[in-house]
Structure 1
Amino acid sequence: MRTALALAARGLGNTWPNPAVGCVIVTSGPGGGRVVGRGWTQPGGRPHAERRALAQSGEAARGATAYVTLEPCAHHGQTPPCAEALIDAGLARVVTALTDPDPRVAGRGHAMLRAAGIAVTEGVGAEAARALNAGFLKRVTQGLPFVTLKLATTLDGRIATASGESRWITGPAARRAVHAMRLSHDAVLVGSGTALADDPDLSVRDIGARHQPLRIVIDSRLRHSPDSRLGRSAGAIPVWLVHTAAAPAAARAAWAATGAELIEVPAAGDHADLRAAMQALAARGLTRIFCEGGADLAAALIRAGLVDELAQFTAGALIGAEGRPALGPLGLAALAEAPRLTRLSVEPIGADTLTRWRF
């Protein structure tokens, strides 16, 4: 199952709206098991991991055991059910980590296998599988994507000098790590303030990426220019703009001409309703979103309870009180109201440190 989970991780950021699944098929014999098939969900979600592994194993799958990180699908979509394919291949046993919460499956895949006489073992590696597919699970059960908030700060929690200079607080190793993190998410998200100040590209560079995540800007009034780096590259790498009814018609038309997708959501005061925005993104299939700020958007997402994980890169530098803080106002009246996070890991990245926290 650990091998199947490692295979599944290869699909993160590239299989939405489908989950990233891994499958390993193992024969049994007097000398022990032999791996005859391995697969993971392919770009766009097809073909599924089980079908890739079965294609590799061929007749050797008959009487073998399949280890799958998620319950095999039981519904007819673009392809017949994977549970049916495992039955037709003559598997003797199927071991899964999680039951698929998708209403079209939800135990039906396991039931199909058992009805065909296949032994089914559930719950192996469940915790790791749940962490791996947290985005898919949250989208199916809550209608929201899994949001990772990235911060790159000095030791005193600053992201820029008073003048706005921020390149570069962290070193090259940390910046490469950020690009790898972008690649494992479906989309990279920034607010209009960051888009206007930095004119970012938000693509994955310098690590040999074979695909690019979506690029999303939450920009209530579409203030960001269609002649920006995002606008000029929208035809090559998708750009989505989340806006409100306050966005001018001329700005909408100009952005539409670039090939960007416009998503209108309700307003909450002078800004886009962030929960409605996340629901709209999940409805379009997104499961994992990597938010790179800025400070006001980060604080607003935290206030709305929409951040699942914080990835904080900390550099051994100090800027002082005149520098720009990593977060905007959280509106706390007392220390007891402060969000308390659970530390997941601490890792040196070059001269910097990456700390992951769970909300």
Structure 2
Amino acid sequence: MIIKRLFIRDFGIFNNQLLEDLNPGLVVIGGYNRAGKTTLLNLLRHIAFGFPRKKAFISAREQHEVEAIVLLDTGEEVNIHIQGYGTPVVSVLKGNRQISSVSEIYNNLDSFTYSQLFTISLDELQSFSSKNSEKEKLQSILLGAGLKEFVLIPQLEDYFYKEAEKIAGKNGDPKVKELKPYFMRIEEGLRIREEASSQVILYNQKQKEYDTIHKNINEFKNKKSVLEREINRLDILKNNYNLYSNIVELTSKISTDEAKKYLNDEVRFYPEKARNIISKYTEKQYWIKEQTVKLKEKYSISSMEAVIEKINKYKDEIVFLKESLSGLREKINFYFEEKKNLEEEEKQIKNSLNAINVDWQSELKQLEYIRT
């Protein structure tokens, strides 16, 4: 038999309480002290036979009333209703069998046998150990039901409590007794796992840093290539700036009406001189065109106007770079001259030392070897 639904209208501390969708298997009921666990046990103990008229029995606010829907092993579903101290009333909800009393559901068991088989508590089992008559009565009931092992529950409880104390002490502490070595091993494993996890996290962080640095290196390489090309262009512009400026200036002067008139006069009065000037000018123009083509091909320059514009824009910077390079060359020449003087002085010191004592020659060579 399985209780599917239980409605407690009035019983002890329970008032209009509904329990439904109960699990057909083992149901564990727990709660704080005076939460109603013992009250519920007494309700289940007497639901099949009615509530006793005893002063010590659980009271009601007005009148005891409980209703339960149970599922029988035969598949039938019945409703059990108890009101006051009356006999439980049974009505069939699902099934064709006629059931007139609750005793038919429990195969005509008496109330004492039912309570001792299905609603006995561990405290009651413990108390039977000191009362031989009650113990014998209980044993006869359990033997008749084939459940004599229930009497051994208090002994088994003591045995398992002692075994549990051997394993983890009175308080169930995993750090003592037989559990201690396993606990220490687990704790060490957790420590190793945590350390490994931190190493993995550190590795991932370093990997991200490496990827970021590698990416920055590639970006800097690209920027370096761009800057090197710009430096080469500026170097070419710097080296040819004066020449190109003169050519531009001369071209501008020659293009004026006055210059054209003068050239025509030169051609008329000094034909040979004019031809030489024009020839040189033509050669210069041809050379400029060649250099322009080379610059365009080498540095992918589409228009020289942009280059000329940059030259005019950065004229002061180019002149400054040119003057700075001259100063750097002077410093480098000075350093080379100083190096030469120091080497000469070193040579003279060595000669002086050799002249003082010839035996020092090997040691000096060793010192020289160490220095180099």
More helix by share: 2
Higher share of residues assigned strand: 1
State the TM-score bracket (shorter-chain normalisation).
under 0.3
Compare CA radii of gyration and give the structure with the larger one: 2
Q: Which has the higher contact order (CA 8 A, sep 6+)?
A: 1
